[in-house]
Amino acid sequence: MKPVSAFAQKLSASRTPSPHTSMFLRMLVRAAVLRRGRAAAALFAMVVAAAVATAVLNLYADVQAKLRSEFRNYGANIIVAGKHSSSLPAGALPQVESVLSGRGLAAPFALVVAHTSQGQPVVVAGTDFARVQQLDHWWSVTNWPAASHQALIGVRALAAISPQKQPFDLMFAGRTINLTPVGTVQTGAAEDNRIYISLSDFTAWAGVQPSTIEVAATGTPEEIAATMRELAQALPSAEVRPVRQIVEGEARVLGKTRATLFAASALIVLTAALCVLSTLMGWVLDRRKDFAIMKALGASGRLLSVFFAAEAASLGAVGALIGYVAGIGLAAWIGRINFHASIAPRFSVLPVVIVASIAVTLLASIIPISLLRRVQPAVILRGE
């Protein structure tokens, strides 16, 4: 008796898995194929929800980097200056450049007070125009000087010194330079009162080395602080200080934008989850007749739960995958039209979206099933 039953058990163990599994799969696939309309509606809801969630999560992860690059248009966030308003050592600019190594821009400034031939004092600055053009986007310049002895002149200085844009002389320490104003600069700040010439003209004429290097370092606050430390180490004779209003303003705006976007993302993800929940609950409740028939044919409550859960989970996984791809596209589109830069797809979002989708779909199938399990199949089949 005993060996026979053991044999039977062994037999059933070796035989059952394959037909069971294939029946299970067949039921899953046929359920989706036979009720194309309903399945497509549920899948559509799943895809849209996952796409929207992916897009906002991607945006949320990337928005800081995007806004930070916007803030670099404010110009320098670090000032390197000679201590006690003295000049910086020769070769300071290459040193700053080597510390930055592509993680930012730097522009040197040398300043003296010169006098015109009428004795009018005026601040003259020597700088590198190519660098200033990149660093200070807000300068409203009519024409950048290209040749030697050409000057970029502030709008107020122009009115006081060379109203007809005629060439003029400037004296400093007994030496004279003749300059032709080729363009004007307007900023609404100190630059309007100054005359800018090229650094080579400036040092040849005034013999003064740059006293300030303005640095626009890119990166997170920690990276910028590290850059500042490296600059201070490389140039011990200089004072390195942050442009505090830019650094603080940037931190505030970024923090608040991110917090608001977080709240918005949370709301959107919640709504998307709700959408999936109500669609799927409808889809499962709608199939109570299938449920009743399976139960009447002898399926256990547990098997049915597993069947419906598997169905929901696969719907969730497929929807999440398609939605992820669509969401990446949506985020890239938003990035292009709003920031004119692509938003890199984050693969770390994918597992989050898939796990969350499956969790929501499971929840959406378990609630109606637990309701149905309590009901006799006969009652359902009679349509009551």
Partner 1 sequence: MFARLVYESFRRQKRRKLLAGAAIALGVTVATAMIAVATDIGDKISRELRTIGANLVVTPQDEALDVDIGGVHLQPPSDSAYLSEADLPKIKGIFWHNNITAFAPMLPANVTVDVPGTGGGKKDATLLGTYFAKQVSYGKQDFITGVRKTHAWWRVSGAWPNDDSSDALIGERLARTLPYRVGDEIILSGHSVRVAGILSTGGAEDDQIVAPLSLAQAILGRPGAVRRIYVSAITKPEDALARRDPRSLTGPMYDRWYCSPYPQSIAYQLQEAIPHSHAEQIRQVAQNEGAVLTKVEGLFFLVTLAALLASALAVSAAMATAIFERRGEVGLMKALGAGKMAVASVFFAEATLLALIGGVAGFAAGSVLARQIGRTIFDSQISVQPVLLPVVLVIAVLVTILGSATAIRGAVSLDPVYALRGEL
Judged by CB under 8 A, which of 66, 103, 149, 346 binds partner 1? Answer: 66
- Whole-number Å distance between alpha carbons of 6 and 8: 5
Query: Which spans in 335-383 are helix H?
Result: 349-373, 377-381
- Of residues 285-344, which lie at the interface with partner 1 (CB under 8 A)? 285-286, 289, 330, 334, 337-339
- Whole-number Å distance between alpha carbons of 206 and 80: 21
- Of residues 1-40, which lie at the interface with partner 1 (CB under 8 A)? none
Tell whether residue 345 is a contact of partner 1 (CB under 8 A).
no
Question: Helix 244-285 vs helix 349-373: angle between axes, to the nearest 10 degrees?
Answer: 30
- Whole-number Å distance between alpha carbons of 203 and 153: 18
**What minimum distance in Å lies between the beta carbon of 4 and partner 1?**
46
Q: How many positions of this chain bind partner 1 (CB under 8 A)? A: 79
Contact (CB, 8 A) for 317 and 351: no
Q: Between residues 20 and 137, which has the closer beta carbon with respect to partner 1?
A: 137
- Of residues 84-113, which lie at the interface with partner 1 (CB under 8 A)? 85, 111, 113
- Whole-number Å distance between alpha carbons of 113 and 121: 6
- Of residues 364-383, which lie at the interface with partner 1 (CB under 8 A)? 382-383
- Whole-number Å distance between alpha carbons of 354 and 297: 34
CB-side exposure of 11: number of CA atoms within 13 Å? 6
Tell whether residue 175 is a contact of partner 1 (CB under 8 A).
no
- Whole-number Å distance between alpha carbons of 259 and 255: 6
Q: Which helix (H) or strand (E) is 127 found in, with range?
A: strand 121-127
Q: Between residues 86 and 98, which has the closer beta carbon with respect to partner 1?
A: 86
Closest to 127 in 3D by CA, of 188, 75, 199, 69: 199
- Of residues 194-223, which lie at the interface with partner 1 (CB under 8 A)? none
Tell whether residue 279 is a contact of partner 1 (CB under 8 A).
yes
**What minimum distance in Å lies between the beta carbon of 13 and partner 1?**
39
Judged by CB under 8 A, which of 32, 71, 179, 315 binds partner 1? Answer: 71
What x-and-dash track marks residues 236-275 binding partner 1 by CB under 8 A? -----xxxxxx-xx--xx--xx-xxx-xxx-xx-xxx-xx
Region binding partner 1 by CB under 8 A among candidate stretches 53-61, 172-180, 223-231, 307-315: 53-61
What x-and-dash track marks residues 127-146 binding partner 1 by CB under 8 A? ---------xxxxx------
